[in-house]
Every structure is written in structure tokens, then in C-alpha cells.
Copies of this chain bind each other. A is one copy, B any other.
Amino acid sequence: MKDSKKEFINPLFTVDSVLFTVVDNQLKVLLVKRAIEPFNGRWALPGGFVDVKQDDNTDMTAQRKLYEKTGITPKYLEQLKVFSGLNRDPRGFSVTLTYFALVAYEDTEPHINTVEEATWTEINELRNLPLAFDHREIIEAAFQRLQQKALYSMVPVYCCAEKFTVGQLKSVVEVIINKPLQRKSLMRRIEASGMFKEVDQKVQSGGRLAQLYSLKPDVDVVHFERNLGA
């Protein structure tokens, strides 16, 4: 039949997500332990097959798989890249669409702790962990994308709580780009982006009280014309 021919041609298609968060001045990636072959028992990115009945598109597949495996709904989600090839999956030619996602650690803690098979892994500890498939390479690509985006946009704010101080955002960005950042530069961008509003509330921080900011509703991420920290 025509159908079987198409199916034969069609490669294995999956969706995987690289979910980042920042906690304790460390950049962490969410890994789940595989419970089936291949790579049974290994750490892997959360993901799986599209379910045509539930998913209107692949974005929903990514969201659904993250939620099913960890109870997390990320604040930020965008496509990263497709990885494909004959050798990346022992079952044959496979294609995985990967996503790049961010959450505030505060939004995840209650969920993640109840899930036995999911864990936050510090980005540098990955070198010692054997991962399933080419997931190490995928994480590396996601990490580079995150670093780049941190230089010309405010995406790192999605690793912050709903209300955040300049100091907190500064710390998050510094962890991501792995170098010090001028507080002044960040303040200029908060102002210039127009993405944020000052919350009528301050919070203690060891010194003078810090102004809280929050995202305006329905704003898009602004892209600047220059990079930080050349």
C-alpha cells in the first residue's frame, strides 16, 4: 500500500528538550532516567514521540513530555535544532527535534522532588556522565545558544522568579555567560527593553532595599543591536 511505503521512508521522529535553570550560582540541565531500550537506565533529555491525538504541533509535544516527566511547564520554550542520522539511534535512521527551555528554579522545586527519575545536573558535571544517544552534543548546542542569547537579549530573565531584583538577574546572567557583568549595563537594558515594570515593593538584600521588577504581560523578548561583554 501507499501508506506502508510512506511509513517505510519515514524515519523515527522524536522531540527532546534541554531545560535549563540557575540555582546556587550554577547552571543546571534537567535529565531523566530512561526506562526502556535503547540506553535503558541512562540519563537522557526529557522527550518522546509525538501523540497526534493530544498534540496540535511539536511545541505541544515538548511541553507535554516535560510536564509528564517532571510536572514542569517552562516559562520559555523555543526550537533549537534538528539532529538526525543513521547512527544516533541503534534502531535506525532517526530524527529528533530539540527544544531549548528555561524555568525559574522556584517554579520547579515542588514538582521535581516528587519525581524519582528526574534530576538537575550542573552543566560541567555532564562530562562525567554517560548520556543516551547524542544528548551530550545536543546539550552543548543548547548551551551555546543560551550563552549567545544572553548577550543580545533578556532571555535569562526566564530563569528568574516572577518578581526579581537587578542583582538576581545580574547573577543569573553571570552564571550563564560565565563572566562578570556590569550592573550598570544590565540596568540600561532593563530600562531600554521596555519589557519590565517596577513592582510597588522592595526586598531586603543585606544592604539597601532592592527594587523588584516583573515582566509586563504579553511582551516579546527584545533583541539588542549590540552584544554584551565583548
Tell me the A residues contacting B by CB distance below 8 Å: 6-7, 9-13, 49-52, 55-58, 79, 81-82, 84-86, 92-93, 95, 97, 151, 225-227, 230
Copies of this subunit: 2
For A50, list chain B residues within 8 Å (CB): 9-11, 84, 93, 95
Q: Complex Cα distance A82/B52, Å?
A: 16
Cβ contact of A10, chosen from B12, B57, B58, cutoff 8 A = B12
Residue of B nearest to A4 (CB): B7
For A225, list chain B residues within 8 Å (CB): 151, 226-227, 230
Residue of B nearest to A51 (CB): B9
For A92, list chain B residues within 8 Å (CB): 52
For A58, list chain B residues within 8 Å (CB): 82, 84, 95
CB distance from A13 to the nearest CB of B (A): 5
For A6, list chain B residues within 8 Å (CB): 12, 49
29 contacts between A and B (CB under 8 A): A7-B10, A9-B51, A9-B52, A10-B10, A10-B11, A10-B49, A10-B50, A11-B50, A11-B52, A13-B13, A13-B95, A50-B84, A50-B93, A50-B95, A52-B86, A52-B93, A55-B93, A56-B85, A57-B84, A57-B85, A58-B84, A79-B81, A79-B82, A82-B82, A82-B97, A151-B225, A225-B226, A225-B230, A226-B227
